[in-house]
Amino acid sequence: MSPARGGAAMRLSGLLRKEFLQIVRDPSGIAIAFLMPIFLLVLFGYGVSLDADHVPVALVADAPSQDSADFLAALQGSHYFVPRVAGSLPEAEQALREGAVKGIIHLSADFSRRLRQADGAPIQVLVNGVDANTARLVEGYVTGAWGAWLAAQSARRGQKLDMPVDLQPRIWFNSELKSRNYLVPGLVAIIMTLIGALLTALVMAREWERGTMEALMVTPASMSEVLLGKLGAYFILGTGGMLLTVGLAVWLFGVPLRGSFWLLWGCASLFLLAALGMGLTISTLARSQFVAGQIAIIATFLPAFLLSGFIFDIGSMPAVVQAITHLIVARYFVAIVQTLFLAGNVWSVILPNAAALALMAAIFLGITWRKSRKRLD
């Protein structure tokens, strides 16, 4: 074919070397690839917790008794609550309004009497519904603590509590119910979206803005070589970000990695290809860094954050939104990482999701391939 063919290896290595020099010298690339993962990990590993722990609650007993003191002691013994005794219901309500407590447990005046009757004593639980998540957690934990206390009471009195079903919950995969254990693996998807899509779209737009693309175009290098150079460099950078995140997740945050590391690496590579494909597709539409950044954040980063199942469970979304999540590349990868970290090599989850990733990668890289021509118009 053309004489230009022979120099393809030289051109590609030249382009790759250029990309790496630029990555090393431009602090913003390093920041997105390495500082951002550390920042997000610390934020989600330490700062964000979807668990209730040491929740302040107020206990109001209209007629304080041995029983109410006993229940208070049981609450104090649990790490979920920091109970305090309020003198009256209005006083407790005031504390709830001020946000000093997240819930009120109200024991009525006939608490002790009805406790010993056949149908048992009711308790009233008031929660602050502004923070719906915490409210639901408090409600659930109080109910659990109440059940446990009743059972203990009955056992002490030597009578068997009359329950139709004896519920013995056993939690699989994340037995301590730590939200960190599923948030941190999900971060791998977020960080790789940032590097693959956002960073790549930005650096491509920069080539247009600075006029370097025009200069590259008139060299014998073909458009696919220019794209391969970008793809190669940012693939390696993204893999670095992924390894850093996985390493910190396992060694710093003690998230168990129950599946195969190599399988994780393989799936991450598929996802990275799809993310790079998205970044390059965006760069064929937007030739200014500002526009490219906006599109990348709205079209890739935010959906990866909100609609991938990273934080919010896809199963509890409205049907329409659930349907939309099928278009979000990150959802397939979040399903894979969460499974690989917490459950292990569950092939029935991994195979279909990996197939979806491969398909998405092919679609986006295909679009880029077709759209990129060595023409300015």
For other proteins, the closer CB: 9 or 355: 9
Q: How far is the CB of 3 from other proteins (least distance, A)?
A: 7
Query: For the chain, how big is the Rg over CA atoms in Å?
Result: 28
Q: How far is the CB of 34 from other proteins (least distance, A)?
A: 18
Q: How far is the CB of 353 from other proteins (least distance, A)?
A: 39
Contact residues for 151 (Cβ-Cβ < 8 A; gap 6+): 161
For other proteins, the closer CB: 25 or 79: 25
State the maximum Cα–Cα separation within the chain, in Å, rounded to a whole number: 98
For other proteins, the closer CB: 170 or 375: 375
Q: How far is the CB of 230 from other proteins (least distance, A)?
A: 13
For other proteins, the closer CB: 178 or 374: 374
Exposed, middle or buried: residue 171 (CB in 10 Å: 0-12, 13-18, 19+)? exposed
Per CB under 8 A, residues contacting other proteins are 2-4, 6-7, 10-11, 13-15, 17-18, 21-22, 25-26, 207, 210-222, 374-377
For other proteins, the closer CB: 13 or 143: 13
Is the CB of residue 367 less than 8 Å from the CB of residue 281? Answer: yes
Phi and psi torsions of 124, nearest 5°: -105, 130
For other proteins, the closer CB: 90 or 220: 220
Q: In what order do the strands lie in the sheet with 81-86?
A: 81-86, 55-61, 103-107, 124-127
DSSP letters of 66-105?
Answer: HHHHHHHHHHHHSTTEEEEEESSHHHHHHHHHHTS-SEEE
Q: How far is the CB of 229 from other proteins (least distance, A)?
A: 10
Q: How far is the CB of 219 from other proteins (least distance, A)?
A: 4
**Alpha carbon distance 325, 322 (integer Å):** 5
